[in-house]
Amino acid sequence: MGTGTEIDAGVLATTRRSLHGVAEMVVAGPQHRRFDTIRLLVAPGGFRGLHLPLHVDGTTLRFDGGSVPLAGTYRGLADAAGVDVGVAVDLYTDVTGIDPDEEVVVDAAAAAHLADCWARGDAALRVLAPESSPILWPEHFDVGITLDQVNYGLSPGDGYHPSPYAYVGPWTLRTGDFWNAPFGAARPVEDLPDVAAMAAFFAEGRERAAS
């Protein structure tokens, strides 16, 4: 179930941006330089590296041997975790553009809401395709999978929609009332209050995309 908490849109946007910066510059970038992958996983309270042992848990960055609050600068967080701050170089172009010396601003309630949404998305994707391994991608900060040339996932919000939403994105666009977004179909999490509802949306999208 959702957190049931109304989060101010500005607070949510600020927290999402800061968490995105941590994902991109403190976890995925350093992981790519060591392990040649930017893939992240949904984890309790937020997300973690696929191979790099860094875990964003609410308002805390956890690493082998300790933890620090998600505060100060991105460079400071990276230094504390023993990694080199920065994005994965020349891998994708749609970067956040955040400076490593900017301040990290994370609201606890907003972070919990985003973590809950990612967790529901991850669980719903596993219902849709039990054999799948959903990935949280640092580029667009969404957790998703691809099946038969159709993308399924949960976005924490972006330029299309400012708050979290589930999506179905066929590589070849379909037409009809179900397909209500430029990239396919989207539903805000408020309309999908639990894992079952989100999984049903994904399943309907899969059925409609195949027809």
Same domain for 123 and 206: yes
Does 137 reside within a domain? yes
Using DSSP's 3-state secondary structure scheme, residue 5 falls into coil
- Model confidence at 4, in pLDDT bands (50, 70, 90)? very low
- Work out the average pLDDT over 117-139: 97
Q: Which of 76, 107, 138 finishes a domain? A: 107
Tokens standing for 82? 């023993």
Could you tell me what percent of the chain has a pLDDT over 90? Answer: 92
Same domain for 196 and 116: yes
Same domain for 153 and 74: no
Q: What does pTM read for this prediction? A: 0.94
For residue 197, what are the domain limits?
Answer: 109-210
Q: Where is 147: in which H helix or E strand?
A: strand 142-147
- Work out the average pLDDT over 83-99: 91
Same domain for 148 and 92: no
- Model confidence at 5, in pLDDT bands (50, 70, 90)? low
Q: How many domains does the chain have?
A: 2
Does 40 reside within a domain? yes
Judge whether 28 and 111 are in contact, CB under 8 Å.
Answer: no
Does 113 reside within a domain? yes
Phi-psi region at 7: left, alpha or beta (left = phi > 0; alpha = psi -120 to 50): beta
Same domain for 27 and 73: yes
Q: Which of 72, 91, 107 finishes a domain? A: 107
Q: Which of 54, 87, 107 finishes a domain? A: 107
